[in-house]
Structures are given as structure tokens and as C-alpha cells.
Structure 1
């Protein structure tokens, strides 16, 4: 399955009581599809997965599948730092109807390459849907290195990786050594264009919630050979990419979405709501793309 080039790691909408909001989710899904999202990830880090219960993750997936109604693929973030739990959640996600899985490298326990390979292999063997690996060393304190990714790429339903390492040398090595049918996605919005330039396919994005059309334009410009246009758009987008992480995510993003009239609610502890100065900064950047949002 091709997940497209602009995959959105969707926030989880909450109501005023801090519970999942189906109405908020339905409106958000409509907004994402209308603004260029080609696939949606539920219960990823941006979706506050560490604070979602097992049942909430499955309910969120079910609601999202209904709201999407087949228009774009829906992936579920089913990885944990326990292989048995990851396998079980992945199986249940497939039973609900997930089109694919995003499986993060195990965090905190810091397995070596052999442990990583065994972990991801166990998940892949338990399901038949396509799997994207997710490497984010700044959060997991472990690195899914190039040699391990290439070993895992030989497993038929492991189709790509969301790569969020800050190490561009590692990205270059992976891009040079991977097969053409293994999808390399940026896991960092600001590295989307650099990764496209070395053979990346697209991005699993946070900023696409609020600048999806502009990101689509940037990707399209690059693919059409209009590299200067792509670079100009990337430079215009960079302050937005940065401000969305000026406070623990997804707080700044939820500030922006609420300003756009999308009822996504607050954040769950231990993440806290951005302070007033950060919120003002978010809205200032947002107004460059959505003038009404500043009013």
C-alpha cells in the first residue's frame, strides 16, 4: 500500500472532560483530508499515545476509520517497549481494520541491533498489513541503525521507515543503500525537503495539520523539478515548523488548531498547555498562512 507523500500524525481530540471527542475527531479528519493529507496516523506521539489507554487507542482507530470512510489509509501507532504488548496491540488494530501500522523503536530499555530486529520481526510476523518503522532517538534513547533497517527491509510487510534521527549522515547512508521500493519518510517537518533531495519519499508530519496545502505545494514543486520554488516554500514554512515545538508537543499545535475553529481540546499531563507568550508566537506564525486565525 502506498501511503502517499504527506502522512499526518494526527492529534487526539479531547472534550472538556479530557476524554476522547468523536465530534472533534470527525471535524479534524475532514480538515486534514481537505488540506492534502494522504494518510493518517492515530495514537502516535503527536496523538499523545503515552497517555492513551489500550482501549482508547482502539476506539480512536475505529472512529477514525469511520470518519475517513476509505478516502485515505489509516495507520495506527502500535509500538511499545514491550514486544508482547506491541504484538497484541498490532493484532487488535488489524482486527479493527487498520490499513497499516507505525511501530516505534523500543524506548527506555535500549535494545541492541539484534533486539531491535527480533522486536520488529515479531510484530511483522503477527500481522499482514504494511508496517512503517519509526526511528526517533531523541525520544527513545535508542537508534535504529542503517544495518538493522536494511535487514528488516527484507521482511515483505515492512515497507518503509519514518526516520527522525538528527544525524544526516545516517539518513544519507540509508537513502543510498535502501532498495527503491522501501519508503523513506522524514519524521521531522523541517527535514522534508533535504530528505526528498537524497531519495526520501515524503514526510510523516505534524505541521500538516495547519499548513497541509503549503507542504503539498513544496513537495510537488520539488518532484516537478522546481527546486527553487520548493526551497522558497520550505524557508517560508521553517518558522512554523519550529514554533510547533517551542513547547512540549502537541500543545502549540492544539493552540493553532483551536484558533482555526477545530475543537481538539487540551493536552494530558504530564504535558501542559503552552504559556501565553508561546501561544502568541504560535498565533503570529499561523496568521501568515491563515490571516483570520489572528482575530
Structure 2
């Protein structure tokens, strides 16, 4: 399975009343594919996975699989705090037609490296989908170390890692683990160019929700080793990436969905809609500079 390049961690649009907005989700999927996005992640952290009911996860994922219709891989976020629950959710995603599972390190419980190793092996053995490891210590409270990842990459059911630690040392260490059957994907928009120029095969991105064509341009240049071109696109994207960092994900990125006709800005509690003010204005102005024809007046 060729999962690389520009990959979007999709937001989940809700109606103002809080229900799934599948019409808006379909528009978001089309916007991604038309913009060159090469794979999509459904029900990840940007998609408010832990705010979804079981039937909503099934509805959202099955809708995405039908709507995408094989045009790009559909990756399901299936990570839970417990191993048995993660296996069960991964099996459900497999039954609904997902192509792979993005499995975040168990959050809150803070497992040891041995626990992480056994967790991911069980999911890969029993879940029924190719597994992409997902390390994001700032959200989960635990860190999947490279020395554990190097053991996990030998499992035939584990096909890569999304590494969201943005420090140069971790980027370099993870790049050394990449090989033909194990892909390294950046999980941080701000350091995506550094990671891809250093060996990452692509990026699972938040900002791609809003500017998929520009982000595809970035990924194409960076994965081809075209440093000057990649850095030039990165400089254009930087104001929007910086503005989105002004509020927790996905609050900031969802604030821009109405301007693109892609749904409401409403997340689910305990997340709240981004208030009027400086951050919201910065996001809008940065988006207008990048995609002026797409932004509603």
C-alpha cells in the first residue's frame, strides 16, 4: 500500500445542532481529492474521534469509504487507551472498508516501552488492518521511543509511523528507521519540510484541510529533495500554520470551515468554538492570502 505524500487528517464537520454533517463531510472529501491530497485520515485526533459515538464512527467511516470510492487510501483512527478496545475498533474499521489503521499510543495510562510494544503487536496481529503507529506525546503523555519502533517495524502488519515530535533529534532518529516496507510520515505541519527533506515520505497534516493544493505542492517539492522550492512554499504556508497554533486543534482549523463552505465551526464539548478576535482574524487573513478564490466573503 502506497501511503505517502500529502495526507489530510480530516476534521469532522458537525451541524450547528451537533449532529454529523455528512453533506459537509462529502464536500470536504471532494475538496481534498480535487486539491491533490493522496490519502485521508478519518476519525483521528483532528476528527474529534473521542467525541464520536460508536454508531457515528461507523457512519463517518463507511461514508468516507463509499464517497472516496478507491480514489485515495482511507485511513481510520482506531487508537484507544486499552489494547482490547483498540483491537475491537480496528476490526470494526476493517469491516467498514478502511485501508489502514492509524493507532495512537495509549493515552493517559502511560505504558512502559514493553507495554507499548505488546500493545501494537496485539493490534497488528488481531486488528485485521495494516497499522501505522502514531506518536504524539503532547497529547497522550507517553513517548514511543525509536528503539521500540525499530522492533515494531519488523512486524509484517506494521507499515509505518506518524511521528509528531517536532524536535530535530527525533526527526533524524525516525528518518533512520524508514525503509521500503516501513514509511516515516511527519505529524507536525510546522516541521514537515525539515522532516521530508530529511527522509520522511510525507506528512499527515491539519492545515491541508484548508489548503490541500498548496500542501500537495509542499510535499511534492520536499519529498523530491527540492529544498529551495519546498522552503519557498513553506514560507507561504507559515502564517497560516502559526495562526492555527493559536488555539488547540481542531478548534482553530474548524473555525475556517464555514469560510470554505465545508461545514460549521462547531466542535464538541469540552472543545468550544473559537471566539472572535485576533487568532480568528489571523487565520482568515492567512487563508485569504493562500486561497483567495476559495474563501467566502
Matched, 1:170 2:167: no
Matched, 1:153 2:141: no
Q: Are the counterparts in 2 of residues 25 and 264 from structure 1 also a CA contact under 8 Å? A: no
Shift of residue 264, structure 1, vs aligned partner: 4.1
Shift of residue 220, structure 1, vs aligned partner: 1.9
Residue number in structure 1 paired with 2:40 = 40
Q: Does 149-158 or 48-57 show the bigger shift?
A: 48-57
Shift of residue 144, structure 1, vs aligned partner: 0.3
RMSD between aligned residues: 1.4
Shift of residue 15, structure 1, vs aligned partner: 1.4
Matched, 1:272 2:269: no
Residue number in structure 1 paired with 2:102 = 102
The 2-side partners of 1:149 and 1:224 are apart by 25
Pairs aligned (count) = 295
Residue number in structure 2 paired with 1:236 = 236
3-state SS in 1 of match to 2:107:
coil
Residue number in structure 1 paired with 2:198 = 198
Residue number in structure 2 paired with 1:59 = 59
Shift of residue 99, structure 1, vs aligned partner: 0.6
Shift of residue 16, structure 1, vs aligned partner: 2.2
Shift of residue 258, structure 1, vs aligned partner: 1.0
Q: Could you list the per-position Cα deviations for residues 201-245 of structure 1 after superposition, in whole angstroms to 9, with x for gaps in the alignment?
A: 100001111121112112222344432111111111111112112
The 2-side partners of 1:80 and 1:73 are apart by 22
The normalised TM-score by structure 2 is: 0.95
Shift of residue 178, structure 1, vs aligned partner: 3.9
Task: List runs of 5+ in structure 1 lacking aligned partners.
Answer: none
The 1-side partners of 2:177 and 2:185 are apart by 15
Q: Are the counterparts in 2 of residues 248 and 272 from structure 1 also a CA contact under 8 Å? A: no
The 2-side partners of 1:31 and 1:177 are apart by 33
Task: List runs of 5+ in structure 2 lacking aligned partners.
Answer: none
Q: Spell out the pairing of 1:22-37 with structure 2 (5 A cutoff).
A: 22-37=22-37
3-state SS in 1 of match to 2:273:
coil
Residue number in structure 1 paired with 2:79 = 79
Shift of residue 181, structure 1, vs aligned partner: 2.9
The 2-side partners of 1:264 and 1:66 are apart by 23
Change (3 A) 1:223 1:77: closer
3-state SS in 1 of match to 2:33:
helix
The normalised TM-score by structure 1 is: 0.96
Q: Could you list the per-position Cα deviations for residues 129-163 of structure 1 after superposition, in whole angstroms to 9, with x for gaps in the alignment?
A: 22110000000110000011111101101000000
The 2-side partners of 1:160 and 1:83 are apart by 19
Matched, 1:7 2:7: yes
The 2-side partners of 1:224 and 1:200 are apart by 11
Residue number in structure 2 paired with 1:130 = 130
Q: Are the counterparts in 1 of residues 162 and 185 from structure 2 also a CA contact under 8 Å? A: yes
